[in-house]
A = this chain, B = another copy of it.
Amino acid sequence: MKNIGIIGGTGYTGGELARILSMHQNVNIAAMTSRQNAGLRVSSLQPNLKGYTDIEFTESIPDSVDVDLVFVATPHGAAMKLIPGFMERGIKAIDLSGDYRLHDILLYEKWYGHEHTDPENLENAVYGLPEFYRDSIKKADLVANPGCYATSAILPLAPLVRSGLTEGPIFIDGKSGTSGAGMNPSQRLHHPTCGESVIPYSVGLHRHTPEIETVVGDISGKDTSVLFVPHLVPIIRGIISTCYFRFAEEVGQEKLDALYSKAYDSEFFVDYVKEPSIRAVVASNHAQVASHADGVSAVAFGVLDNLVKGASGQAVQCMNLMLGLEETEGLKAPGLGV
């Protein structure tokens, strides 16, 4: 039994980590931190966890607690203040913020708008997408957990770009459920604003743009240019990213099918399907990928639950790899379907 800490346990990804880990056979939540809620029972704020965990929020991980690995679920900018301390103490860490996803510091500072204060660990951080970086994750001390939109776009794009068939920029139309925006109320997330609407935002400016370009570029070995337009849709959980691109010459559907089958047939958590469905994967760590060729144009879809495969579930998948556990442990549960 391994001891786990969750730093920043009040937010949605922290709560989702606790929910998932409560079903995990080989780890124990030893500490959950929250500055504002220190001293409160976790289950008093997250009543779904009543009966599953008795711990209280603490300001930081108590000295009396030995943890093997921490999840850092704090906002961008805060994580890189905390990670060096864990690294020094030899505690493995998975960062759910964006702080360690872009190895290029200048790129980070351009898109995040502040200095990166931990270049040393940044260099060694591994991008936590097991389907493409499994071996590195197993050996990593620090994993940068991918963004939710990024995961939903990289899964359909990487095998394709790697094939060398595509040409020119890729257009990604992201559509996310509202839990992706976090637990803090805002005008955009106010039900009367978003409950019967579809709202594009951060057009061309979303920070997952360089993340997708970098990772797809790294996996495929090809420069990749992306125009990414996220949209808020009135569902709580779920993302579908619809990715448009062109081929250098006409490519048939069979060719696409073969590419994706090769990439994902042996992956437990990624299905290549004809008709992607958010309901099939919601509340699970499964993702779906689909594609449709149309002459020299084509479209590919990536579908997942933004809080699970798009955040906390993927982080647990990485944790399993880092701790030498079965990769699917605690995550083997079907999507809701209905």
Contacts and interface: CB of A to CB of B under 8 A. Distances in A.
Interface of A: 12, 15-16, 19, 22-23, 46-52, 168-169, 171, 173, 175, 177-179, 183-187, 189-200, 203-204, 225, 227, 229, 231, 233-238, 240, 242, 244, 246, 268, 271, 273, 276-284, 286, 288, 292, 294, 296-299, 301, 307, 332-338
A288 B173 CA distance: 19
Given A191-B191, A198-B233, A229-B242, 19 more contacts: A47-B273, A47-B277, A50-B271, A169-B296, A175-B233, A178-B195, A185-B187, A185-B190, A189-B191, A191-B194, A193-B279, A195-B234, A196-B237, A199-B277, A200-B242, A203-B292, A227-B297, A283-B283, A307-B338
22 contacts: A16-B338, A19-B337, A23-B333, A47-B280, A48-B279, A48-B334, A48-B336, A49-B334, A52-B334, A169-B297, A175-B198, A183-B192, A185-B187, A185-B189, A191-B195, A196-B238, A196-B282, A227-B298, A233-B234, A234-B234, A244-B244, A283-B336
B236 A233 contact: no
Given A234-B233, A236-B196, A204 B278 contact: no
Contacts of A297: 169, 171, 225, 227
Contacts of A283: 283, 336
A271 B242 CA distance: 27
Contacts of A236: 191-192, 195-196, 338
Interface centre among A268, A280, A294 (most CB of B within 10 A): A294
Contacts of A299: 171, 203-204, 227, 229
In the A-B complex, list the 6 residue pairs whose CB atoms are closest, starting with the nearest: A171-B244, A185-B185, A48-B337, A178-B191, A48-B335, A173-B173
B227 A337 contact: no
A238 B198 contact: yes
A46 B280 CA distance: 8
A7 to B, nearest CB: 19
Given A47-B277, A199-B277, A244-B171, A334 B190 contact: no
Nearest to A187: B185
Nearest to A178: B191
Nearest to A335: B48
A197 B334 contact: no
B175 A175 contact: yes
Central interface residue in A225, A235, A277, by most chain B CB within 10 Å:
A235
Contact of A337 (B49, B178, B229, B244): B49
Contacts of A234: 191, 195, 233-235
A61 B229 CA distance: 42
A294 B197 CA distance: 25
Contacts of A298: 227
Contacts of A284: 48
A241 B204 CA distance: 16
Contacts of A185: 185-187, 189-190
A84 B247 CA distance: 45
A234 B192 CA distance: 9
